[in-house]
Amino acid sequence: MTFADKLRAAQTTTRSRVCVGLDPDPARLPEPLRDQPIAEAILTFNRAIIEVTADVACAYKPNLAFYEALGADGWRVFEETCAAVPDDRLVIADAKRGDIGNTARMYARAFYEGVDADAVTVSPYMGSEAITPFLEMEGRCAIVLIATSNPSGAELQDLIVDGEPVYRHTARLAVEAAADRPGEVGFVVGATRPALLAELRTAYPDVPFLVPGVGAQGGDAAAVVDAAGSGPLLVNSSRGILYASDGDDFAEAARRAAEAMRDALGDPSN
């Protein structure tokens, strides 16, 4: 099954474009979990979040930094978290790895073989060699940073080269790197600049877009969906879902937040 097929199936089943970002901050865990050892508490938390949102989210995106900050125990929690995601939902390893060749191939092994992730986020500063090693396993997708919504994203990404911003050059090299694997390279595009999202969608109608920044980071759901048109779209929310409540009702509150986001983003099969 290609990545595009799996994404379509997961979105059809859940009628949802929601990707739940699993960035468990030890300082923000719900109160009822705080007396457990930290790694155990995070695993309990992640499993509860996944279980309660699985029918309204098509994908989960663990952010590696939050696991690595806990050392080897954290890596174990990352593995168990990925294992808790239902097989027909997507796992996106949000790793933003930026290396090449043999090194990138080792990262691909860590994520595709180690935890059976469907996709990995990639930082493209080293060029197409940073992307191609993540395309070598069928059905897996390299999701490349193209135009990010953080304030300093524009410092490099918006520089103008031959009349075009750098992010357009990056998008082109990413798509060219995956020329024989259409649908298995994706773009990370921020939610805060819908015009830019629309511009990239026009140029790349079939590329899956992973859009963070809706909710806590200020992006507007309707504007994102409108700009991304009918092409494949995943919209990530982390804090808005994970920390909807820090009390006993944290799971129910997360579920309600994910459901509200699903509704705001509309049914992808329509």
Size of the site for its own copies (CB under 8 A): 55
> Residue 245 contacts by C-beta under 8 Å, 6 or more apart in sequence?
30, 252, 253, 254
Q: Of 167 and 204, which has the nearer Cβ to its own copies?
A: 167
If one asks whether residue 72 binds its own copies (CB under 8 A), the answer comes out as: yes
Which of these segments, 29-37, 48-56, 119-127, 257-265, binds its own copies (CB under 8 A)? Answer: 119-127
Strands 164-165 and 185-189: unpaired
Q: From the CB of 225, what's the least distance to its own copies, in Å?
A: 24
Apex 205 CA angle, 62 and 233, nearest 5: 30
* 7, 18 Cβ separation under 8 angstroms: no
- What is the full DSSP assignment across 156-190? HHT-EETTEEHHHHHHHHHHHHTTTSTTSEEEEE-
If one asks whether residue 193 binds its own copies (CB under 8 A), the answer comes out as: no
Among positions 1, 65, 83, 222, the unique one binding its own copies when judged by CB under 8 A:
65
If one asks whether residue 136 binds its own copies (CB under 8 A), the answer comes out as: no
If one asks whether residue 179 binds its own copies (CB under 8 A), the answer comes out as: no
Under the rule (CB under 8 A), what is the footprint of its own copies?
A: 23, 25, 63, 65-66, 68-69, 71-76, 79, 96-107, 109-110, 114, 123-130, 145, 148, 150-157, 159-162, 166, 169-170, 173
